[in-house]
Amino acid sequence: MSDIRPFRALRPRPDLAARVASYPYDVISSDEARALAEGNDISYLHVVKPEIDLPHEVDLYDDRVYAQGAKNLRRLIAEGVLIRESEPRLYVYQQRMGDHVQAGVVAACSCQEYADGLIKRHEFTRKDKEDDRTRHTHELNANDPVFLTYRQRTDIDTLVDRVRQLEPVYDFVADDGFGHTVWVVPAELTEPLQEAFRAVPALYVADGHHRAASGARVGLERRAQNPHHTGNEPYNYFMAVVFPHNQLKIMDYNRVVKDLHGHTPESFLAAVAGKFTVTPDAPARPEHGDQFGMYFGGRWYRLEAKPGSFPDQDPVRSLDVAILQENLLAPILGITDPRTDKRIDFVGGIRGLGELEQRVDSGWAVAFALHPTSLEQLMTVADCGEVMPPKSTWFEPKLRSGLLVRTLDIW
């Protein structure tokens, strides 16, 4: 079962929602956040990226950063920018990116279910990032939404569609052209939605593994500190937007590498041809799995993984990101740990393949375009208790922060 609960959100006044809503903390740099928030003192970036209000030399993990985030959240509440819902509610959050539309239920999800593996993950987290988000959540006494998914169910779709026929509380197009619409779920549909989700055997972290891990960790830490713990306290849950899997869009997550690890252009191409069928002057974008685009020396090549070069029945090692890593990046280019190697960078598909060309034309050695990982592959890996290689998925559109805020002391 999946236990979802309504909560009394803090949310912007309708006339301020577009100005408050911000990118999540982990998709933009501090400098980008400063530029985006310039002249907008109610942007939620002041809460999720509070370093933008401090001198540049202040370390991201400095005590002052966390204190500033909590101060900024209190200010938005005190100034009436964020208002408290009068009673616990569920919400529906819809996003539009061109012709693509996805709508999810915003709810409080169980820390215990995360700990028990009923909210499944497909990535490892980094301790420094998890520690950072854990402290940030403790200091704010609030959390940002986690992006979850589940195997689509018609009964949930029907209920969500009923909500979407009502008048939304927010409906705007952000500066990037993506649309965001929010509805408050009527009280009479809360229990039917909860009942429908009880039949969902598992939820999956799609995006925001560090937010999910830190949200659950805060709940478990507060539980340990409360001698009168009952299990129903608000801190036992973290906020998430839960989408059906068939509405989500995973984009390609591409790679660029700084040098050829001592190879000449000729020896590099010869080594690649040992594991891949190489076709020069081919289309840049892969047409299916096991196929890659490679931009090298001012031209695109098509790489096709040779039969037998990877275990096609292994749910992890048969992923395109694993095929590229095990057959090219590690053995040929010497990148054995892409999490820490400074010679590799990752480019989300939202930036387009032109970004790969630009990076190589400006000095990087080679770029690789990948076919997107599928939702079915993601859920299969999670169901097996495995994790994907780093930077396997890039979801768009991203959730906006600040549209709905959940504090950990009030239902």
pLDDT tens readout for residues 13-49 = 999 999 999 999 988 999 999 999 999 999 999 999 9
pLDDT for res 391: 87
The domains found in the chain, sorted by start residue, are 4-249+397-407 (no CATH), 251-395 (3.30.1760.10)
Q: What is the mean pLDDT of residues 180-205?
A: 98
pLDDT for res 339: 84
pLDDT for res 336: 95
The pTM of the whole model exceeds 0.75: yes
Q: What is the mean pLDDT of residues 235-243?
A: 98
pLDDT tens readout for residues 48-92 = 999 999 999 999 999 999 999 999 999 999 999 999 999 999 999
| Mean residue pLDDT across the chain | 96
Quick check: 275 pLDDT over 90?
yes
Q: What is the mean pLDDT of residues 187-207?
A: 97
pLDDT for res 242: 98
Quick check: 1 pLDDT over 90?
no
Q: What is the mean pLDDT of residues 383-400?
A: 92
Q: What is the mean pLDDT of residues 196-204?
A: 98
When pLDDT is cut at 50, 70 and 90, the band that residue 126 belongs to is confident
Q: By percentage, how much of the chain surpasses pLDDT 90?
A: 94
Quick check: 340 pLDDT over 90?
no
pLDDT tens readout for residues 305-331 = 999 999 999 999 999 999 999 999 999
Reduced 3-state DSSP string for the chain: CCCEECECCEEECHHHHHHHCECCCCCCCHHHHHHHHCCCCCCCHHHHCHHHHCCCCCCCCCHHHHHHHHHHHHHHHHCCCEEECCCCECEEEEEEECCEEEEEEEEEEEHHHHHCCCEECCCCCCHHHHHHHHHHHHHHCEECCEEEEECCCHHHHHHHHHHHCCCCCEEEECCCCCEEEEEECCHHHHHHHHHHHHCCCCEEEEECHHHHHHHHHHHHHHHHHCCCCCCCCHHHEEEEEEEEHHHCCEECEEEEECCCCCCCHHHHHHHHCCCEEEEECCCCCCCCCCEEEEEECCEEEEEEECCCCCCCCCCCCCCHHHHHHHHHHCCCCCCCCCCCCCCEEEEEHHHCHHHHHHHHHCCCCEEEEECCCCHHHHHHHHHCCCCCCCCCCEECCCCCECCCEEECCCC
Q: What is the mean pLDDT of residues 109-124?
A: 95
Q: What is the mean pLDDT of residues 202-218?
A: 95
Q: What is the mean pLDDT of residues 289-304?
A: 97
pLDDT for res 361: 97
Quick check: 124 pLDDT over 90?
no
Q: By percentage, how much of the chain surpasses pLDDT 70?
A: 100
